[in-house]
Structure 1
Amino acid sequence: MLENLKTVILLGFLSAVLVVVCGFIGSIFRLGGLGILLGLIFAIIMNFVSYFYSDKIALSSYNARIVTEAESPNLHRIVGELAANANILKPKVAIIETSTPNAFATGRNQQHAVVAVTTGILNILDEEELRGVISHELGHVKNRDILISSVAATVAGMIVAIASYGRYAMFFASDDDAGNIIGAVLMSIVGPIAATIVQLAISRSREYKADATGAQISGNPLALANALRKLEFGNINDPLMDAKSTDAHMFIMNPLSGVGSKLQNLFSTHPSTADRIQRLEEMANNHSY
């Protein structure tokens, strides 16, 4: 209950930042309260779209293909067995054609959940490790993380996109709009930062929780730990080049870990792999799963 309340507050804050950013930009164009109204409309639309279409958007973004049981019987068997262990409905199964080893879950609830894995992950993990990864993704489904993270990412992405226009607002403002220009420029900086901080707060805590839930579902925390080692190496050496920063939180391993500077990676949507592995090893040693 406390975690759900925290999430509602964080998503509400994201929506509020979006409204304020639109209000500042709207004031530069002398739109009055229309800018705030547009921000409110955008927030409502983004939350609506994220709720009903997050799975389709995520799958299409990475050309993920839903596969039948006849096409991939072993993968369906594993997902079905683990879903039964988790006492949840079996989600749909999708495959992404890429050598980068990774996986994610999406959808607004159990009835619309999809677990997607890359061909790369199928090639490098043994069955126990793959079960650990899929259990992690089912943990997100069981913990209702897939809806929360999708909505947060979509609204945060909208804040970043709209706030970026604040940098160009000065070209449309008159001399007596200096205050508004400063405000808009500040919001173009503060808005995305605020959105990113909130998104990270949601993503990182829920990765730890999904790891723990996944270890309970599979009954083998060390298998997930071993898989994370392989996935980190694979994503550093063979990063998913078309991955988007607003989608990075969906994957079990940050797909951008091999892209960009060390400073950029400090703001990763994922906790460090070493910390995740340490927690899983402690679970195994303490038999707390």
Structure 2
Amino acid sequence: MNYTKTAMLLAALTAIFVALGAAIGGQTGMVIAFIVALAMNVFSLWNSDKMVLKMFGAHEVDERTAPEYYGLVRDLAQRAELPMPRVYIMDNPQPNAFATGRSPSHAAVAATSGLIDALPREELAGVIAHELAHIKNRDTLTMTVAATIGGAISMLAQYLQFGMLFGGNRDDRSGIGMIGAILAMLVAPFAAMLVQMAISRSREYQADRLGALICGNPRWLSASLLRIERAVKRIPNEEAEEVPAAAHMFIINPLTGQGMDNLFSTHPNTANRVAALEALAEEMTRSGIDLGGGPTGSSAADQDGPWSSGSSRGAARGPWG
């Protein structure tokens, strides 16, 4: 299903890209944009994860260079019955994280140094489990492609605006003209943003639920969401501000001043996410599931209940396994 959604996303973003090409160069620009978009689609499917990691200056770590962080990712990946992802750290004071990769076997988890320094182990486990849930749900391909192509569309729109300032193709009858160019310049970034929002809002709720089951305690994740949201308002993420098309990849919107649960938000409202996690915690408690488990202990998914098929091995024995 996610592959179908990715194909639809690529088609939508390609159409926007081609429309911008037409605005810049008429029919010739449209053809060139279409060729570029096809090449970009193929490239992004295989290399978008590397591009996004590079965007945010992430560097890979291992058990020797970051033993506690790496070990936590390894333990949670085992509980989720996922292949061990590559592990990255972004040298950024804002606490945040994202996952990327075209498949579970080609995935990566990246956390900021601010996140690792600021969160207790239990809350960090909740965040990492959320990102592993995106990998398990195969969300990362669509999210990463959206970030890559959405960024390209934003850059092209900026070029279009720059070109208009110096005359552009006002007299090119084969193009869509000045009015069309203005419309394309205004609509394209919002269209790309709307596509990203359409794929991210519901997926965040799904990843929250699954991440809570992986780490074993929904309240660990809800506490981390609140802590991160407070920090985001105080600590800017300069890299994310430069690439707003990638904001949807993070567990909390990294752009300052965001967070409303409306049409122009890249994430659901944090309070709504926390409420859903609290409801899950209460449901698990009523079912007799111990919420004290974690990456090194028993968890909700290790016990019989509505999220388990009776196995005592690993979190992946729930309905999502």
How far does residue 140 in structure 1 lie from its aligned partner after superposition? 1.0
Of 75, 90, 105, the residue aligned with 1:81 is 75
Alignment of 1:1-289 (within 5 A): 1=1, 4-27=3-26, 32=27, 34-167=28-161, 168-169=163-164, 171-173=167-169, 177=173, 180-243=177-240, 244-256=243-255, 258-259=256-257, 267-287=264-284, 289=307
Distance 1:152 1:93, change over 3 A: same
CA distance in 2 between counterparts of 1:223 and 1:74 reads 18
CA distance in 2 between counterparts of 1:44 and 1:185 reads 25
The number of residues matched between the two structures is 281
TM-score if structure 2 supplies the norm length? Answer: 0.80
Distance 1:217 1:15, change over 3 A: same
Q: Which runs of 5+ in 1 are unaligned?
A: none
CA distance in 1 between counterparts of 2:65 and 2:147 reads 32
CA distance in 1 between counterparts of 2:67 and 2:172 reads 67
Q: Bigger shift: 125-134 or 14-23?
A: 14-23
Letter in 1 for 2:39: I
CA distance in 2 between counterparts of 1:176 and 1:127 reads 60
Distance 1:118 1:176, change over 3 A: closer
User: C-alpha root-mean-square deviation of aligned residues, in Å?
Assistant: 2.4
TM-score if structure 1 supplies the norm length? Answer: 0.89
How far does residue 48 in structure 1 lie from its aligned partner after superposition? 2.2
Q: Which runs of 5+ in 2 are unaligned?
A: 285-305, 308-321
Letter in 1 for 2:200: S
Letter in 2 for 1:283: L
Calculate percent identity across the aligned residue pairs: 44
Distance 1:84 1:187, change over 3 A: same
CA distance in 2 between counterparts of 1:116 and 1:173 reads 43
CA distance in 2 between counterparts of 1:205 and 1:63 reads 28
How far does residue 112 in structure 1 lie from its aligned partner after superposition? 2.2
CA distance in 2 between counterparts of 1:284 and 1:148 reads 29
Letter in 1 for 2:13: L
> Whose helix fraction is larger, Structure 1's or Structure 2's?
1
How far does residue 176 in structure 1 lie from its aligned partner after superposition? 7.5
Distance 1:267 1:274, change over 3 A: same
Letter in 1 for 2:120: D
CA distance in 2 between counterparts of 1:63 and 1:175 reads 43
Question: What's the secondary structure of 1:246's corresponding residue?
Answer: helix
Question: What's the secondary structure of 1:253's corresponding residue?
Answer: coil
Letter in 2 for 1:81: D
CA distance in 1 between counterparts of 2:276 and 2:198 reads 19
